[in-house]
Amino acid sequence: MQHRTIGNSDLKVAPLVFGGNVFGWTADERTSFSLLDAFVDHGLNFIDTADVYSRWVDGHQGGESETIIGKWFKESGKRDKIVLATKVGLLGTRPGLSAANIEAAVNDSLKRLKTDYIDVYFSHRDDDKTPLLDTLGAYQKLIAAGKVRVIGASNYTGERLEEALKVSAKEGIAGYQILQPEYNLYDRADYESDLEPVVKAHKVSVVPYYSLASGFLSGKYRSKADIEGRARGAKVAGYLNDRGLKIVDALVKVAERHDTEPAAIALAWLIARPGITAPIASATSVKQLESLAHATRITLAPEDVAILDEASDLT
């Protein structure tokens, strides 16, 4: 499996990221351990989580996902096999990107994760109330202290990402080397028009979330009846239109050519996109994970890409 480099760092990652939002939510502790073990067994090594996961669940406070990952590190001894990413800024008790909050939040995360360092620390969302220099200066201190290796930005506009990169360059401090935007075969416009020019110009790595459009690109949902009772039903409903169904038909067609699932093709399309380092995807069973991992072994032919691009054309 060909690994890819994050920014100008020495971090090498496989071309698929496990989205840790499911840990402690739709995957209990033992299931999560099995998923993480299987993930490593497939030769994959990049895990993404956040301090806020899974605050949205009744009775949860946030930090549940990090806690499970930390327990798995301790039980499995596999910390050195993982490139670990987590995020700061959206947890209610640790909101925003002020220097003081970042310092407190990273220590909380490190304790839950049972590790001395975080490989990639993301600003979970832009904080326009805090000067960029304050945020970036705080990250520089964490890097100097060995608590963080690389920093990244999630949910930034192209303009704000460009501005942050200029501040880092001017001040000679750590800059964002990786971006986490929403991007998939359906949701293309915002990333390709606003963010892609910036990341290409600055050689910023990209790990898209919602890579499967909340599961829509799995091909399982073709009508409102298919999404009744689903946790992400409202989100998926927004894709149930002529363009969305055309994309699913194209995914099914290409999947049949490769004897695989539509979800694997949707991920393979992202993996093959110029500038994309690795899409983020989640699984709640080892069987699901195997299907997703297959995406890293698929080589799409130019004809496959043309079929998918035509179906998802925005013009």
Six token digits for residue 33: 């351990």
Domain, as residue range, for 88: 4-311
Contacts 24+ apart (CB under 8 A), 55-58: 55/91, 55/92, 57/24, 57/25
**Residue burial 128-160, b: 16+ Cβ < 10 Å; e: rest:** eebebbebbbbbbbbbeeebbbbbbbbbbebeb
46 bridge partner residues: 17, 83
Q: Residue 217 CB: number of other CB atoms within 10 A?
A: 28
Contact 52, 90 (CB under 8 A): yes
How many independent structural domains does the chain possess? 1
Burial bucket for residue 268 (CB in 10 Å: 0-12, 13-18, 19+): buried
CATH number at residue 275: 3.20.20.100
pLDDT at 228: 72
| 177 and 9 Cβ atoms separated by less than 8 Å | yes
**What is the pLDDT tens value at each position of the chain, 315 positions in all?**
789 999 999 999 999 999 999 999 999 999 999 999 999 999 999 999 999 999 999 999 999 999 999 999 999 999 999 999 999 999 999 999 999 999 999 999 999 999 999 999 999 999 999 999 999 999 999 999 999 999 999 999 999 999 999 999 999 999 999 999 999 999 999 999 999 999 999 999 999 999 999 999 998 888 777 677 666 667 788 899 999 999 999 999 999 999 999 999 999 999 999 999 999 999 999 999 998 999 999 999 999 999 999 999 876
Distances 287 to 39, 44, 172, 233 between C-alpha atoms, Å = 11, 15, 46, 22
Looking at the DSSP assignment, which residues form a beta bridge with residue 23? 27
Residue 39 has φ and ψ, to the nearest 5°, of -60, -50
